[in-house]
Structure 1
Amino acid sequence: MGFQKVAGIQEFENIEKKLIELDGKSILLTKVEGDYYAISNKCPHMGGSLYKGTLEDGVITCPRHGAKYDAKTGKGLGKPKILFLEFKMQDDRSYPVKVEDGNILVDINIE
């Protein structure tokens, strides 16, 4: 289906992240250093909502076990932990984003 409009840039005047649903997929849309990025909202570790986590300096932290992901690429940066146990790290899925005429568009169909 290609790029689809998911938000307007004006929506990001006072926020840095937004949860969107696109073709049955939950996507985390973020604004980092003036640019927009989209990754899967589902943490690869145990399925936590990354939207509910914190976004700081381009890093999103899962609220469940502290796994950290680059909000631009979905690359895993910090392993999830429970007490003193560390778990295997997997990268999150990222999606192409572009801006046209004040609209943010995401393509979830690119493999």
Structure 2
Amino acid sequence: MRFQKVAKVSQIPEGRGICIEWQGERIAIFRIGQEFFAIGDTCTHAGGSLSEGFVEGYEVECPLHGARFELATGRAVCGPAFEDVPSYRTRVVGEDVEIEVP
């Protein structure tokens, strides 16, 4: 495993997410204060973009049907989705946000 730069800190708005693509995978990167989280961008229920979802606390709600996922783990915490999304470790190096990738 290695870390890959995916964004600048300034590109990720507080309390919101952005979507990046890494080797064909859509990954949502979120910022809560000075913490950054990375999970799969595609809701496991109906394919909604989680980076466009509503962040509340440390969870994101899919904008299509309201499924909720933990930002730290990708765990589905509220239906209609019951399958988790992938999660990725993050770190900040200077102004760069990096995620751990295979």
Q: TM-score range by the shorter chain?
A: 0.7 to 0.9
* Cα shift readout 1:57-79 (whole Å, capped 9, x = no counterpart): 12111122111001121111111
Question: How many aligned residue pairs are there?
Answer: 102
Q: Does 1:98 align with 2:95?
A: no
**TM-score, normalized by length of structure 2?**
0.87
Unmatched runs of 5 consecutive residues or more in structure 2 = none
Structure 2 equivalent of residue 5 of structure 1: 5
**Whole-Å Cα distance in 1 between the matches of residues 71 and 59 of structure 2?**
5
Counterpart secondary structure, 1:92: coil
Unmatched runs of 5 consecutive residues or more in structure 1 = 81-87
Counterpart secondary structure, 1:63: coil
Q: Does 1:36 align with 2:29?
A: no
Counterpart secondary structure, 1:19: strand
Check conservation: 1:32, 1:72, Cα contact below 8 A: no
More strand by share: 2
* Cα distance, 1:17–1:72 mapped onto 2, change above 3 Å: same
Structure with greater Cα Rg: 1
Structure 2 equivalent of residue 83 of structure 1: none
**TM-score, normalized by length of structure 1?**
0.81
Q: Does 1:107 align with 2:100?
A: yes
Q: How does 1:1-111 map to 2 (within 5 A)?
A: 2-12=2-12, 16-80=16-80, 89-109=82-102
* Cα shift readout 1:11-61 (whole Å, capped 9, x = no counterpart): 235563111111111000001242001000011112211122111212111
**Whole-Å Cα distance in 2 between the matches of residues 63 and 107 of structure 1?**
26
**Whole-Å Cα distance in 2 between the matches of residues 14 and 55 of structure 1?**
10
